[in-house]
Amino acid sequence: MAHQASAVMWGLLYERLWASRRPSQTVAHQLRDAAVATAAAAAVDLLLTPRRFTPGFERRLSPTGLVWTYGLFALGVAVGSISARRFS
């Protein structure tokens, strides 16, 4: 549940603070912006958050696994943002 809440929070922050200011971007720009926003989320999750409040999966995954995790999260954020603009 905490992971879902964190993902939703980062997705909403991305939409409200970043994507909504650039409504007519290309797909490539949206993918880039989602990757940058996800890098910020990863930095906060893994570097700035006290260990007892971290997601926990970072202790079980390899560095490659973490890259895949956050990379797929970035893809999900971008797809959600692109879908929201196309179907609104």
Q: How confident is the model over 9-39, as pLDDT tens digits?
A: 888 888 887 766 766 678 888 888 899 999 9
How many other β-carbons are positioned within 10 Å of the β-carbon of residue 45? 19
What is the pTM (predicted TM-score) of this model?
A: 0.79
Q: Based on DSSP, count helices (H) and strands (E) in the chain, helices before strands.
A: 3, 0
With DSSP H G I counted as helix, E B as strand and the rest as coil, what are the percentages for the chain, rounded to 5? 80, 0, 20
Residue with tokens 């879902």: 4
